[in-house]
Structure 1
């Protein structure tokens, strides 16, 4: 819907001829409802106008209001063209960037349509993920630090005999604005950063990992409260999420390929 809405906005802007410097001309063969100084207001223009307002099944009054608003808009566009008014550079570039952004999103949509993720790919990824999860859930508590030195200090405190819950309580008092720290409940290996996998699989319940665990978020001190066997999610329950994940991977590879094939000069 987002792609359609953005594309619709560009179609509307182009159809109303708000910028004669557009790179391409939109061909609109839908029925002409009326003309304003020979400039058409079409059914498609009205439909797109309403879509941009989030109206997919308009009532007659909404259609009439849209026609009236488009008519007034075209009158102003005609006046601007007659007076040879030009958009300021910032607005002209904004319109150009909107058109390019919409085209880029549409290009990705078309690429995915040609490279559809198959059920076989989804099933294969499901089996791979299930194998990694190993039917185990972990009750994890962790402290996150930006600086590894702070994580080492916390580990020194634990090594001296201080209980993890006491260290965690003091940590939470001074890091109250942080989310996803402390007790994060029951998780599987795929729900935590990749660097958690080895420590969690090595730890016994009621123990902490004796080295900082580094992720893209910072340095973690990990405590395993408990672990248990669990039934993996059904294929149908996670199918949509796996499909999105595989689509993201295909898109990222596509972007990397485009970048590799292109001449990007940082010193033009």
Structure 2
């Protein structure tokens, strides 16, 4: 971060005449041709995690800024250019800030309303049907392999529990497989959701279930009725979900409008 602050100071001096830096905050010091402003001081404090800095900490950071500005001033006087990596870093940071600002502007123009939250709440309550399912499943990329395991269970070569134990042991780093605990219908891919609605407790689904993730061998260990949370309790989570959808929508729209041309990866 110290290097970034130093580069920012250097750019402040280098771009002062071109007008590409617009910092109208109070000038705290002028080091050669480089102004050290209140905004730069604020950034330096935040970069060090000193949001609530005391007088001594502020003075120490200010003194360090003066030293950095003095060195940056020498770089400006000597016409020392930023190297390719430094320029790329500044370009990347600018791109990130611009992307953040565009996204914030979009969310401000398209806020999630109380009516949106209430409508989504009703939709989720209707979709989950007040039920939760204790699901166990094995996921395979190869449908043939899934069929082979299902046939082995149905042929009493081994139980589902034994198949699951072997499956998990062979894939210790795979997540969301085996016993995935209690879930609601809304949390499951549509093919699994449709299958679960037809199943009884303790039942192995008679066919391999195909989804976008692969081929599933599905077992319903248990099922229960649950009282859904109130709208007030669920509101914050629903709002976050809806905002995430808006962010995803904006990202897709921005990418489409930009007419991306990938020249080389």
TM-score, structure 1 normalization: 0.87
Alignment pair present for 1:86 and 2:111 = no
Deviations 1:137-192, CA, capped at 9 Å, x for gaps: 10111112232222111111112123211211222222223232221221111233
| Paired position in structure 2 for 1:125 | 120
SS of the equivalent of 2:132 reads strand
Report if the CA contact (8 A) 2:134-2:180 is conserved.
yes
Report if the CA contact (8 A) 1:147-1:219 is conserved.
yes
Deviations 1:210-259, CA, capped at 9 Å, x for gaps: 22233443322110011111111222332222212212222222233333
SS of the equivalent of 1:28 reads coil
| Paired position in structure 1 for 2:154 | 159
Distance in 2 (CA, whole Å) between partners of 1:19 and 1:93 is 19
Consecutive unaligned residues of structure 2, counting only runs of 5 or more, are none
Alignment pair present for 1:223 and 2:219 = yes
Distance in 2 (CA, whole Å) between partners of 1:64 and 1:238 is 46
Alignment pair present for 1:54 and 2:55 = no
Report if the CA contact (8 A) 1:139-1:187 is conserved.
yes
Distance in 1 (CA, whole Å) between partners of 2:119 and 2:9 is 46
Distance in 1 (CA, whole Å) between partners of 2:68 and 2:209 is 59
| Paired position in structure 2 for 1:203 | 199
How many residue pairs align between the two structures?
A: 261
Residue number among 167, 171, 186 corresponding to 2:167 in the alignment: 171
Q: CA RMSD in A?
A: 2.7
Consecutive unaligned residues of structure 1, counting only runs of 5 or more, are 1-5
Deviation at 1:14, TM superposition (A): 4.1
Alignment pair present for 1:41 and 2:36 = yes
Residue number among 133, 140, 143 corresponding to 1:145 in the alignment: 140
Deviation at 1:264, TM superposition (A): 3.4
| Structure 2 CA distance for partners of 1:47 and 1:178, relative to 1, 3 Å | same
Alignment pair present for 1:259 and 2:251 = no
After the TM superposition, which segments of 4 or more aligned residues of structure 1 sit over 6 Å from their partners? 9-12, 21-24
